[in-house]
Amino acid sequence: MSSQRTSLWHMVDPAAYDSVRPRYPRTLLDLCADVLGITSSTRLLEVGAGTGIATREFLEWGCEIDALEPDARFAHYLGAHIPSSRLSIHTCDLADWCTATPAHHAIAASSWHWIEKERSCAALENAVLPGGLLAVLEYHHCAGGDMEAFTKIHDMDPQHRSPRIRSAADVEGTIRAQWMPHSPVLPPTTVEVAIPYTAASYLALIRTYPDILGLSPPEYEQVCSAASTIIDALPDRTIIKNYLFSLTIIRITSTGSRQ
């Protein structure tokens, strides 16, 4: 993750993020709970809990969660919207986390790419019991849906910060190449999901992207106006965005959690 993008994160509104970001497919969540063997006696360490999109799902299994969220605004939102006695929220990075009660396993939902790996992986080894697992959930925009329309929107980004939209197979290949050297307990398992957006809901979504928020006011208005015009010209005035969700689970060892 670029330092520039990280520095723009303070511009993202937690409530807006929580309302528009995609939810994880139930099939992947159930698979994760099964491989981790989550029960009411399980203690999880969640790395980068954000607004609790994944946290809510894992609490349904009755487990205890130590949720780490370094952004105080997001941590406050998390506490205000998930009032659970089984959830403990800590405003800190994984690298600074210290506990006398190690977790059984760790999870990272759309957060592992933010992690500063060297110090964090060492901290993870101390924060999880021997034999513990790390489950990484993530998602990517992939080819499919209204590709021509997305290409037009992409071309309106004056800084060309938006990455090229790759095929699902290409994205999955990249994920596998990233994790296979760590001999995953569960190799990358993927699910494609197509989500429809109106102009209003798509604009609400991109307003949670740090790169978009970092544009100058004229550039920002240009992108938003173009996206709205392009979407309103589509059938049903709706654009279909194709996502590839993935779940990878590795065993946490002195080298296994490193990249």
Phi, psi of 62 (to 5 degrees): 80, 10
Distances (CA, A) of 229 to 144, 156, 195, 216: 20, 12, 19, 20
Decide: 134 and 108 in contact? Cβ < 8 Å. yes
Measure the CA–CA gap between 172 and 91, rounded to whole angstroms: 32
Find the helix or strand (DSSP H, E) in which 79 lies: helix 72-81
Single-letter amino acid code for the residue at 203: L
Distance CA 217, CA 46 (A): 36
User: Which two structure tokens, joined as six digits, stand for 167?
Assistant: 């095929």
> Where in the chain are the domains?
3-139+164-190+244-251
Q: Which CATH superfamily is domain 3-139+164-190+244-251 in?
A: Vaccinia Virus protein VP39 (3.40.50.150)
pLDDT in tens, 82-101: 989 999 999 999 999 989 89
Question: Could you tell me if 87 and 65 are in contact, meaning their C-beta atoms sit under 8 angstroms apart?
Answer: yes
What mean pLDDT comes out for the span 186-206? 97
**Integer Cα distance of 38 and 59 in angstroms:** 10
Strands (E), the chain: 43-47, 64-68, 87-90, 105-109, 133-141, 186-198, 238-251
Confidence of residue 257 (pLDDT cuts 50, 70, 90): very low
- Whether this prediction's pTM lies above 0.85 is answered by yes
Q: Which of 151, 146, 142, 145 is nearest to 171 (CA)?
A: 142
Q: What is the percent of the chain where pLDDT is above 90? A: 76
pLDDT at residue 163 above 70? no
Whose structure tokens read 């779940």?
247
Angle at alpha carbon of residue 47, lines to 15 and 121, rounded to 5°: 150
Strand partners, 44: 65, 105
Check if the beta carbon of residue 52 is closer than 8 Å to that of residue 88. Answer: no
Q: How far apart are CA 84 and CA 23, in angstroms?
A: 20
pLDDT digits (tens, 9 = 90+) for 230-251: 999 999 999 999 999 999 999 9
Per-residue pLDDT, 2: 40
The percent of residues in the chain predicted with pLDDT above 70, rounded, is 92
Per the DSSP assignment, residues forming a β-bridge with 247 are: 137, 189
**CA 1/CA 144 separation, integer angstroms:** 25
